[in-house]
Amino acid sequence: MKSYIPNFLTLLNVLSGCIATVFAVLNHLEWAALFVFIGIFFDFFDGLAARLLGVQSEIGVQLDSLADVITSGLVPGVVMFQLLSMAERGGWNLGFIGHDAEITLLPFVGFAITLASAYRLAKFNVDENQVSSFVGLPTPANALLILSLPMILLYHNNDTLSDIILNPWFLVVLTVLSSYLLNSPIKLFALKFKSWNFKDNGIRYLFIIGSLVLLLTLRFLAIPVIILFYVLASLLMPSEK
């Protein structure tokens, strides 16, 4: 019976991603972000539950990646599509895009994130070396980066930030950069605890504590900072054997 628990958590990730997709298509990006956050929560704990219960399986690995394609691949692509649409229209619109605006080609560039995420997850499934570390930015981290943008627009109420985020060039460059980072050769540490002692997990504990401090002080603006901190910390961290 316990072998079904991790897979059930993964399926909750799938469900969260499906709900987030609906909200993203309807341009309710705040709700889309909420359900992506919930999905990533389940994504973290399904693997942890599998390790604690000693029920890791190949089906679980495959199911986890399929869930991530939706929650951390499709949804960020739809959100970037909506942001690029907003940038072209010059502002926020809560209506469904097809009902009140002419669709141009530029917003479809956002789906490069979905394609890059799917490719990254396929590579991860056949790479046996990504155990204690990742090669390339994990899809959940990239999803958080993209989903932070509409949350910054909604909750930080800063004209300068809004002008930057809703600049089409900024969004296109960010799309290209995130697609590259997903499949880059950069080695990044994983938040997987083989033990709970500080000696073996110092960088992980410091990263978690630092991230919490940034979130409490900068709110959603902290997420891009945390992703940058994650990449820099990984580059400075000694390689794990």
pLDDT band at residue 149 using 50, 70 and 90 as cut-offs = very high
- Per the structure, the count of domains in the chain is 1
CA angle centred on 147, ends 110 and 188, rounded to 5°: 90
User: Which of 122-126, 182-186, 208-212 is least confident?
Assistant: 122-126
Q: What is the pLDDT of residue 90?
A: 62
The DSSP secondary-structure symbol of 188 reads E
Residue given tokens 């628990």 in the structure block = 5
d(CA 105, CA 93): 18
CATH of the domain at 135: 1.20.120.1760
Q: Which comes out higher in pLDDT, residue 57 or 194?
A: 57
- Which secondary structure element, helix H or strand E, spans residue 104, and what is its range? none
pLDDT band at residue 97 using 50, 70 and 90 as cut-offs = very low
d(CA 228, CA 130): 21
Residues 224 and 145 sit within 8 Å (Cβ to Cβ): yes
pLDDT tens for 9-18 read 999 999 999 9
Task: Say which amino acid occupies 146.
Answer: I
* Structural domain includes residue 205: no
SS3 204: helix
Task: Say which amino acid occupies 129.
Answer: N
* Structural domain includes residue 220: no
Give the C-alpha distances (Å, rounded to integers) separating 32 from 130, 189, 191, 224.
Answer: 29, 27, 24, 18
* Structural domain includes residue 23: yes
* Structural domain includes residue 104: yes
Structure tokens at 17: 């991603």
pLDDT tens for 53-96 read 777 777 878 888 899 999 999 999 999 999 999 998 765 554 44
* Structural domain includes residue 221: no
Residue given tokens 């399926």 in the structure block = 11
* Structural domain includes residue 177: yes
Q: Which comes out higher in pLDDT, residue 239 or 162?
A: 162
What range does the domain containing 111 cover?
Answer: 4-194
Q: What is the pLDDT of residue 190?
A: 75
User: Which of 38-47, 78-87, 160-169 is least confident?
Assistant: 38-47
* Structural domain includes residue 95: yes
* Structural domain includes residue 9: yes
pLDDT band at residue 229 using 50, 70 and 90 as cut-offs = confident
